[in-house]
Structure 1
Amino acid sequence: MEKLVILDLCSSEVKLSLEDWITLMRKATCLKVLNAKGCHSIKAALEFPNPVPLEHLILEGCLLVIRTAHLSTSGLEHLVTLNMKGCTQIKYLPQALFPLRKLKELSIDETKIETLEFKEGFLPSLEILSAGKCKNLVDVDSITFLDKLQKLNLGSCENLKRLPDLIGLLTKLQEMDLSHTLIGKLPASVNKLDNLQVLKMVCTPLVQFPEAIKNLKKLEELDFSHCRSMQGECIVTGLDFLRVLKLEGTRIFPVLTRDNGNFRLHTPQFDNGDDGQMAS
């Protein structure tokens, strides 16, 4: 056990009590990858009695026990990815996670988290944050401290009504999914997201094409499908690299684009079977 580097228990019927888990982690001093995805009979914890070179920890669907908000994670200092998707016992992020300097990907989808409480200097290497289907999530203002963030998934956070006003501080952001939320307006600072390539806002209460994104030069894909309150003009002449524009189920009319330096006016025919997608 002491020489074990990879432990893959994915979807196994293994049963472990919390005491069994801690005993296992005490012995696995060389472990780099631990996959316990779908192990519904494992009681896991973010507790490693001894330092381990663990880089990838997948606890998706486990019975994750957070015994204190301030637990020690000194044994996790090499962690690069942490997946806690579907760990429905989680109502907050343990504060002790935030100093993990090497963590690049954090998945907390389908948890009961209500507020994301990041602070300046926390998770300084985080590039991917996925918090989809967090139905209790209402406050994400502190994500603006994650200045290395490249991908943000807040899709299907059905009670989330707004993004932070200073979202424009996330200048490295490339992809953002806000689909199936209550976000009906983008903050003006979105116009500073110069590296944004993909924006998805399917089934949101947008009422018009967002002004803040009209000149984001690197945007390649926009999906506003089934934003049923969305109407008016769609002017994308400033989006030089736009490849995919999805407007199915909206009342946008017309669409003004630029093709080889010339302006072109499109009239979407969404009522005759067209899927509402335009691609160059």
Structure 2
Amino acid sequence: MSKSIDASTFFIYLYKCKAGGCESLHKILDVSLNACDELVGKGMIVAHVLPLEGFEELKFINLEGCGSLVYMPNVSCIPNLEKLNLRSCKNLERVHDSVANHCKLWKLNLEDCSKLQRFPDIPNKNESLRKVHLGWTSIEELPASIGNLVSLEEMYLFNCKKLAILPSSIYKLQNLVVLRLNGCSQLIKFPKEEEEEEDEDLSEPHTKTRFPMLCTLSLEGCHLSEVEFLENLSCPNLFRLLLSGNNFTNIPTLERLNDLEELEVSNCQQLQEIPKIPGKMRRLEANNCKSLTRIPSNIRYLEDVELYSSRELVCNGFPMNDLFMPE
């Protein structure tokens, strides 16, 4: 039985190739599929490196669950590639450096690639990548050059159990809308805003506004011992801040987060006080905050408040009934 495909004389007009579940297929030979714009090989047992020369019009590659793939293919030979899905490629160890300079690749999914330890450097500004999925990988840190992903809108790093360092250059991601770091249990500190560099062009917009587009910031279960970075954080569009399951004792003022609507701090066992909340807040979840003794009086205007098992509020005679009485 043949364990390879020789497409040198076939598929002249093929625009979609699906080879999922081909457990004995180890190699694709002499592929010249100029019209093909989608390659699907979910669960395919492929060689350690998959050659992709000849797919000049390919726009989407889906190799999810390819257990034998060790090295990500070089995508520089696929100039029209827009989406690359390598999710759950359990033996993938390396992301090819070609993703850093690809002009059309906008979505890269490396979620659940449990052996992946490093994301490549981005030496020059990349204006194409908008979504990067790195959850459930073994990445230990992001490169300082991550700030060169100037068009990045969504970054998912949830449950990266070895991630311990975030570079301050992350604040250069001016188009970031969603940042999810929940479950990164080794991340004990979120970086503060970097100091302005001497050669930074102060005439550029957003030089004083970090994360101007950010809407959702998730830092649940990160064991953060402090969240001082919030004090000077300028996120005019942030409406959802998720901080549950951390070790900080206090939250700095949130009044600069004018559009904040949801705040979650449940299971923050050391949290003692919640400061005055912004006027647009609609929801506060602070369940099982055993050390919480003070909450702001303006929570009476919220639509949804959860304070289950916040024992110290009751033990200290906090007038909960009076708090929610109409004025």
Do the two structures share a fold, i.e. TM-score over 0.5? yes
Between the aligned partners of 1:163 and 1:189, the Cα distance in structure 2 is 10
**Mapping of 1:1-280 within 5 angstroms?**
17-19=2-4, 21-22=5-6, 26-37=9-20, 39-41=21-23, 43=25, 45-65=27-47, 71=51, 73-74=53-54, 76-95=55-74, 97-111=75-89, 112-119=91-98, 122-143=101-122, 147=126, 148-157=128-137, 159-181=138-160, 182-204=162-184, 205-212=186-193, 215-233=210-228, 234-235=230-231, 238-252=234-248, 253-254=250-251, 256-258=253-255, 265-266=276-277, 269-271=286-288
Q: Secondary structure at the match of 1:166?
A: helix
Match of 1:8 in 2: none
8 Å Cα contact 1:115/1:137 also seen in 2 = yes
Structure 1 position 274, deviation (Å)? 5.6
8 Å Cα contact 1:58/1:83 also seen in 2 = yes
8 Å Cα contact 1:237/1:256 also seen in 2 = no
RMSD between aligned alpha carbons?
3.1
Q: Secondary structure at the match of 1:73?
A: coil
TM-score, length-scaled by structure 1: 0.77
Identify unmatched segments of 5+ residues in structure 2. 195-208, 261-274, 278-283, 290-305, 309-327
Between the aligned partners of 2:257 and 2:189, the Cα distance in structure 1 is 26
Between the aligned partners of 2:76 and 2:173, the Cα distance in structure 1 is 24
State which structure, 1 or 2, has the greater radius of gyration over its C-alpha atoms: 2
8 Å Cα contact 2:43/2:64 also seen in 1 = yes
* Structure 1 residues 262 and 45: CA distance shift in structure 2, 3 A: closer
- Percent identical among aligned pairs is 21
Between the aligned partners of 2:244 and 2:222, the Cα distance in structure 1 is 8
8 Å Cα contact 2:46/2:69 also seen in 1 = yes
Q: Secondary structure at the match of 1:173?
A: coil
Higher share in strand? 1
8 Å Cα contact 1:119/1:145 also seen in 2 = no
Structure 1 position 256, deviation (Å)? 2.8
Q: How many residues are matched?
A: 252
Structure 1 position 130, deviation (Å)? 1.0
**Paired amino acid for 2:253:** L
Between the aligned partners of 1:260 and 1:215, the Cα distance in structure 2 is 12
**Paired amino acid for 1:150:** R
Q: Secondary structure at the match of 1:258?
A: coil
Match of 2:316 in 1: none
* Structure 1 residues 193 and 30: CA distance shift in structure 2, 3 A: same
Between the aligned partners of 1:119 and 1:49, the Cα distance in structure 2 is 20
Between the aligned partners of 1:225 and 1:262, the Cα distance in structure 2 is 20
Identify unmatched segments of 5+ residues in structure 1. 1-15, 276-280
Q: Secondary structure at the match of 2:159?
A: coil
* Structure 1 residues 260 and 119: CA distance shift in structure 2, 3 A: closer
Q: Secondary structure at the match of 2:57?
A: coil
8 Å Cα contact 1:99/1:123 also seen in 2 = no
8 Å Cα contact 1:100/1:122 also seen in 2 = no
TM-score, length-scaled by structure 2: 0.67
**Paired amino acid for 2:188:** V
Q: Secondary structure at the match of 1:191?
A: helix
8 Å Cα contact 1:232/1:251 also seen in 2 = no
